[in-house]
Structure 1
Amino acid sequence: MPSTTDNKMYVIQDVPGKGKGFIASQKIPMGTRILCEEHLITFPETGNEADIKTTIARQVNALPQDQQDMFLSMPNIHPYKTDTERYFGIVRTVSLPIEDAKGQNPAGAIFVEACRINHACDNNAQKGWNANIERFTVHALRDIEKDEEITVYYLGKVTKRETRQAVLKERFGFVCTCRLCSLPPEESHESDKRLEEILRLDRAIEQGGLKGILSRPLQTLRYVERIVQLYKEDNPHDAGLPRAYIDAAQIFIANGDLARGKVMMERAVAGWVVSGGDDCTQVMENKPFIYEPSKHPLFGYNDTWRTAVGDVPADLNENDFEDWLWRRDKPKPAHPSGTVSPLRNRTPFPSFQELPDDKGIDPRYFGQPNEEGVYEQTRHWCFLGEIVNHFTERRLQLELKDVAGRMAHLIYVTVQLEGELGAALAETGHTVAVLYAKLTKYAQIVPASLDALLTLSDEFEELASVQEGTRMCHGCGKKGTSMQWCGRCLTFWYCSKACQEMGWKNKGHKNICRLVKDADFLGLMKLNSAEFSGKVRFHLGTSGA
């Protein structure tokens, strides 16, 4: 593995308006590892500030003089009166995040060279801690020309210009003048709209969680497809693109589609190889699923879209392949002439599972957000369901079969609509048509009996909580401060591998692990009835009117 001193592709020199920076001394091809560096000092990310300052000062004072000089030459935007405050100010200004191989025990660190790389919102390189080799690495996201400055992105996800500028000014004390921040107002506005839409769609996918993947796979896939499209329009080299592909892979694998899951996994891994190297955690964890996607933890939940790994078509052109990959199913002709009957088109006439929800951001039916952030409807749609059962119990209730042949459970019709429809028309074999039907999220099915759910709630309160740093082992019941949690549900704690096996085999964790990590169950556990600022919906955590 290259070090920071061998085969350097850059020089550190003054950059106008930025102080020191990295300048490419040769052309650097996309995916090249530019930097691979050990840390100079480390410190805990959380804890008592006085203790953190003491930890930092002790390490700095123990450094050889040349390394102390390197540390003290780093930027510091915070005022200080003592050496300890000076050290702490430097750390607050330029430190970088690290963690262990399991993604736990987050900490901060100082690196002699990595901490000097300047920021750009349209960065050409990706920084990151590689826990597998315990080095901080920087990789070229695209080809970098000789004499071009090498830049990374200091923040998390790329947000609109106003937000980026405010955070950069507050946290790092500078105003960014990169290409993205210097666009003409109209172009900057269009870029901001794309970036804000990515964030909204990301939140919708995250809030949907596993239930969204399983119960609304096509809609969730359309969210991901739109994110990929937006990234390609705004910055095709964005390091967030592999995350979108892995979301798509998980949607397919969870619903039994191993062929498409394999292709999406290949795209995600290829992106992470570019941004983090073939030894980074994301590549090491996900590359095996390219060859055996059925080994993925999400496989087996559903088989709605079942395909085999070898079902990837080999005779399609690029456009047709993308149509196949994203399940852009074209309406199938049902007439000898080859024309498509309008009612067989599943976009304007979706099945129950394919209906948009009440967030109003489904890209099939809504365009880009307006100035108020509201997605404007761009097309009509209508839900069709054949009545297979009906009864009246204060309200007319209908059980329907949708265009996919699946049961749509019960639709409860309001008194007003009941009068408009006429109860006499509610006969088995008749069809209900509902314009602009949407799914709301005030009800959900939990895969457990009520008694089991209440029992789990009792255990959750005792075993998943942390009291003054002390946790309880689910296996033996002992309390302590040094424990590891279940790697699947990230909720129950164990003091040893033997206790984890005991909890799994003898104390029922095998049967409840999947439920414990369910977003709706966790949301119910954390729902505070007395703190009401607006209705919530399943998936819990989203708010609405």
Structure 2
Amino acid sequence: MGKLGSLSQSEREAFLNLSYVNFPKGLEPDEHPEEVALAIFQTNAVSAGEGIGIFPRMARLNHGCSSAFNVVYSWRDAAKFLIVHALKDIRQGQELLTTYTNSKRPREERRAFLNDQYGFHCACDVCSLPKDLSKASDARLTMISVLYDKFASWANEEVDGVEAINYIRKIWEIEEEEGYWSERGQLAADATWVAASHSDASATEAWARTAIEWFSYEIGADTPQVREMKVVTGRPQSHRAWGTRQALVVGGPGPHEK
């Protein structure tokens, strides 16, 4: 409560008007303002560089799973502020939704987590799908997670670069079917790393361009990730992973490059 006292009246009101869950049983909120403040913080705090923070306007964003969420947020360390980016075209009056959890898992797992951590039963567009459509969505999301795990095995040299890139292409394809558009900048950057490791200059450049496009959507065109990828597009051999694996033509994004 000490730090709350240093806030202006409007800032305190914005903080105290935020929702919260997991308030200690048997206590009355009006009689324990310090517990209310702690519950608000635990419910709404997000990562902010090396620390964590409360951002009242961003905290008002509701949750959506998989294809239902349409914005993501990221912390700008140099400028010391948090920014929200649209992943998709948003109609006037359409609600902005972010995601509170890893959406790449079946509906019942998502709902169980959200109920436990945030105290609500998710009824977003994805969780409200009819049984047959929900089952198909669950299968896609589960397969995306499986493919991510298979791709990760490249780091231990359990699969070669061609297989790793094929896993990424398949992830991309299934995400298109699902309408899941988050994390694509990092996925393309990971593919750039694989291509550079195997000294495939053409693929390195192509994946870096794809990473630039999607990083620009998700975190902004003026970010370190975009600047790094721009350098790589001009000189693929400058990538810090260049030539660390056996030379191999792994291939670029192909039809998935927009």
Q: Structure 1 length as normaliser, TM-score?
A: 0.43
Q: In the TM superposition, what are the counterparts of 1:30-429 in structure 2 within 5 Å?
A: 57-80=1-24, 81=27, 82-99=32-49, 105=50, 107-121=51-65, 122-209=68-155, 211-212=157-158, 216-235=160-179, 238-302=181-245, 304-305=247-248, 322=254
Supply the AA of the counterpart residue of 2:218: S
Measured after TM superposition, the shift of residue 83 of structure 1 is: 2.0
Distance 2:233 2:55 in 1: 34
Counterpart secondary structure, 1:206: helix
Alpha carbons of structure 1 residues 282 and 204: separation in structure 2 relative to 1, 3 Å: same
Displacement after TM superposition at 1:286 (Å): 2.8
Q: Is the 8 A contact 1:231 1:241 kept in 2?
A: no
Look up the SS of the partner of 2:74 in the other structure: strand
Equivalent-residue separation in structure 2 for 1:164 and 1:281 (angstroms): 32
Could you list the per-position Cα deviations for residues 226-251 of structure 1 after superposition, in whole angstroms to 9, with x for gaps in the alignment? 11111111115x11222322222222
1:492-513 residue CA offsets vs partner (Å, 9 max, x unmatched): xxxxxxxxxxxxxxxxxxxxxx
Determine the C-alpha separation between the residues in 1 that align with 2:149 and 2:104.
Answer: 14
CA contact (8 A) 1:289 1:295 kept: yes
Structure 1: state its 5+ residue gaps: 1-56, 100-104, 313-320, 326-545
Q: Which amino acid aligns with 1:183?
A: L
CA distance in 1, matches of 2:104, 2:246: 35
Give the Å deviation of 1:157: 4.7
Contact persistence 1:132–1:280 (CA under 8 A): no
Task: Give distance in 2, aligned partners of 1:182 and 1:296.
Answer: 44
Query: 2: CA distance between counterparts of 1:64 and 1:126?
Result: 28
Q: Do the aligned partners of residues 156 and 142 (structure 1) sit closer, same or farther apart at CA in structure 2, a change above 3 Å counting?
A: same
What is the deviation of 1:283?
2.0
CA distance in 1, matches of 2:78, 2:213: 18
- Aligned CA-pair RMSD: 2.2
Counterpart residue identity of residue 90, structure 1: I
Greater mean deviation of Cα atoms: 179-188 or 125-134: 125-134
C-alpha distance in 1 between matches for 2:4 and 2:229: 38
1:119 and 1:151 in contact (8 A); partners too: yes
Report SS of the residue matched to 2:199.
Answer: coil
Alignment deviations for residues 111-145 of structure 1 (CA, whole Å, 9 cap, x no partner): 12111111111211111212232211111111101
Q: Which residue type is aligned with residue 151 of structure 2?
A: I
Q: Is the 8 A contact 1:249 1:262 kept in 2?
A: yes
- How far did residue 158 of structure 1 move? 2.8
Q: Which amino acid aligns with 1:253?
A: A
Distance 1:132 1:279, change over 3 A: farther
For 2:2, what is the secondary structure of its paired residue? Answer: helix
Residue 306 of structure 1: CA displacement? 6.2
Bigger relative contact order, structure 1 or 2 (CA pairs below 8 A, ≥6 apart): 2
How much has 1:261 moved relative to structure 2? 1.0
User: 3-state DSSP class of the match of 2:47?
Assistant: strand
Shift of 1:322: 2.5
TM-score by length of 2: 0.88
Opposite residue 98 of structure 1, the aligned amino acid is A
**Partners of 2:141 and 2:7 in 1: CA distance:** 43
- Between structure 1 and structure 2, the one with the greater Rg is 1
Identical pairs, percent: 24
Q: What CA deviation, in whole Å up to 9, does each residue of 1:328-364 have, x standing for no partner?
A: xxxxxxxxxxxxxxxxxxxxxxxxxxxxxxxxxxxxx
Alignment coverage as a number of residue pairs: 247
**How has the CA–CA distance of structure 1 residues 209 and 152 changed in structure 2, closer, same or farther, with 3 Å as cutoff?**
same
Relative to its length, the structure with more strand (as a share) is 1
CA shift digits 1:402-440 (9 cap, x unpaired): xxxxxxxxxxxxxxxxxxxxxxxxxxxxxxxxxxxxxxx
Superposed structure 1 runs of 4+ greater than 4 Å apart: none
Classify the secondary structure of the residue corresponding to 2:243: coil
Q: Quick one: distance in 2 between partners of 1:180 and 1:157?
A: 10
Q: SS of 1:277's equivalent?
A: coil
Further displaced range: 137-146 or 281-290: 281-290
